[in-house]
Amino acid sequence: MAEMANAGFSKELDAFIDEWKNKPGNLIMILHKVQEEQGYISKEAACEVAKRTNSHLARVYGVMSFYHFFKTQRPGKNTISVCLGTACYLKGGQDIIDEAKSILGLGDDKISTDDGLFSVEPVRCIGCCGLAPVMSVNGDVYGKLTKNQIAGIIDKYRDA
């Protein structure tokens, strides 16, 4: 197993931070790398990045909230991505996301189930607008969705 630095960073991530910590755009590059390795940016990871780049923690969180692709919660084993691009939005993408969250018991601010099995996230256009509204689960794309199909689709991944 790779030797771990603080916040569970691998040696590779550690070296990446050393390389980038004083360059312009360092926070975005480093946060991307953290999310790539850990799947999200934990509080510990954000603190470690702030420390290593000599930045205020508020600045790190500022960057994370400005760029919506940074996740602050650990994603579930199965990632449900619901497209909220224009075509999907107009065809009821928000209803699809609401239905998925309601089936999984997720409130407004919660993206992952307590058992870690599922997470639900809105995404931008995934390029299948003709099939709107669209969602994908672990990369499997489902199109022309209606609300009553969502429970069945989620069930397929429960025991997978």
Q: Which is nearer to ligand FES, 13 or 133 (CB)?
A: 133
Q: In this structure, which amino acid lies at residue 136? A: S
Length of the chain in residues, anyone? 160
Contact flag: residue 28 with ligand FES (CB under 6 A): no
Q: In this structure, which amino acid lies at residue 55? A: S
Contact flag: residue 120 with ligand FES (CB under 6 A): no
The distance of closest approach from Cβ of residue 129 to ligand FES in the complex, given in angstroms and rounded to an integer, is 3
Task: Give 19's contacts (C-beta < 8 A, 6+ positions apart).
Answer: none
- Binding ligand FES (rule: CB under 6 A), the pick from 45, 97, 100, 132 is 132
How many angstroms separate the CA atoms of 66 and 64, rounded?
6
Residue span binding ligand FES (CB under 6 A) among the ranges 48-56, 57-65, 85-93, 101-109: 85-93
Q: Which of 100, 77, 92 is nearest to 152 (CA)?
A: 100
Number of residues that bind ligand FES (CB under 6 A): 12
Contact flag: residue 86 with ligand FES (CB under 6 A): yes
Residue span binding ligand FES (CB under 6 A) among the ranges 36-44, 55-63, 86-94, 149-157: 86-94
Contact flag: residue 125 with ligand FES (CB under 6 A): yes
Q: Which is nearer to ligand FES, 45 or 122 (CB)?
A: 122
How many angstroms separate the CA atoms of 35 and 149, rounded?
31
How many angstroms separate the CA atoms of 107 and 68, rounded?
18
Q: Which is nearer to ligand FES, 7 or 132 (CB)?
A: 132
The β-bridge partners of 83 are: 123
Contact flag: residue 135 with ligand FES (CB under 6 A): no
Neighbour-count burial of 50, counting CB atoms closer than 10 A to its CB (0-12 exposed, 13-18 middle, 19+ buried):
middle
Cβ-based neighbour number of residue 156 at 10 Å: 11
Please report, as ranges, the residues that interact with ligand FES according to CB under 6 A: 83, 85-88, 125-129, 132, 134
